[in-house]
Amino acid sequence: MKLNAFQKTAITTVAATLFLILVGGLVRATGAGLGCPDWPKCFGMWIPPTSLADLPAGFDESQFNVWKTWIEYVNRLVGVVIGLLITATFLLSIRYRKEKPTVFYSSIAAFVLVLFQGWLGGVVVRTGLHEGLITAHMLVAMVIVTVLLYATFEATSDLFKIRIEEGFRKKLLWTVWVLFGLTMIQLVLGTQVREAIDVIKNAPVVSPRGTWLENMEGVFPIHRSFSWLLVAAAGWLFYLMKKYNAEGWVKKLGDLNVVLVFLQVLIGIGLNYLAMPRVLQVLHLVGVAVMVCTQFLMILVLRRGEVVISDQ
């Protein structure tokens, strides 16, 4: 099947949005969120300074760090590119308005959400990285990528033909829904851990980085223990696929989801015992975004994919 302009653009936009989440994770891990202290410009300029000598009058020199400034600036540029891609996706989706209205309306939803996300990003900067708003900003990004994924799937569903018995399909669908729900809960718990870390990091007396998690009470022990539920759900998914000899897209997505859960747990262990290395922070955030996408895609395939063989 040759992809049309909408399908190519939509797939590109989903991938680019995941890349933006990666860049956002880099911003968080490096503390570059206020690398540009104003919005929409950066230090009053459309292209930020590269040295103190270029800093415009009226800005505190202590605010300027060239690396953090340019990391945040690249984050904003990628955000602009995503906005343009989503706009193109929306315009190209008009052809589906009557043929597949779900494609058209989900593309509209993504367009509206990215406008809201751009506004919210400005509010985050103007409020000095308020913890609750940072969490909201990240959660909206997750919603955007899942809405885009839905639009993309609806436009390319003919590619997802699966061979599966109806009884197995129902069991598998139920299991993946449970895994998806647990992942979303764990995602929210993770954002609360991140907010608690920000409080510790911004305290008058900052403790060593390696002690942040081990000394954290409340939400972190819950987040850590909750991961066992995801491991159990992923283990059950793996068992079902082996028992019923899953094949094709079902096997590929199922195996990928199981691997991602275990990788994410290993990254979490690394964060806990290796003094929170920044690279693992970024991978942990990107990992959960990819998990959400692959689980959601598997749900769509099991619910809406073309079943070419059912119970024998």
* pLDDT reported for residue 164: 84
- For residues 181 and 255, membership in a common domain is answered with yes
- For residues 85 and 153, membership in a common domain is answered with yes
- For residues 174 and 307, membership in a common domain is answered with yes
pLDDT band for position 311 (50/70/90)? very low
pLDDT band for position 282 (50/70/90)? very high
Residues 215-241: what's their mean pLDDT?
A: 92
For the ranges 119-128, 213-222, 287-296, the one whose mean pLDDT is highest: 287-296
Q: Which of 110, 140, 159 is the last residue of a domain?
A: 159
- For residues 109 and 233, membership in a common domain is answered with no
Which range marks the domain in which residue 243 is found? 160-312
Residue 88: is its pLDDT beyond 90? yes
Sign of the C-alpha dihedral computed for residues 16, 19, 21 and 24 taken in this order: negative
Residue 209: is its pLDDT beyond 90? no
- For residues 5 and 134, membership in a common domain is answered with yes
Name the residue with higher pLDDT: 135 or 226: 226
Q: Which of 124, 159, 194 is the last residue of a domain?
A: 159
Number of domains in the chain: 2
- For residues 190 and 103, membership in a common domain is answered with no
Q: Which of 134, 159, 184 is the last residue of a domain?
A: 159
- For residues 196 and 173, membership in a common domain is answered with yes
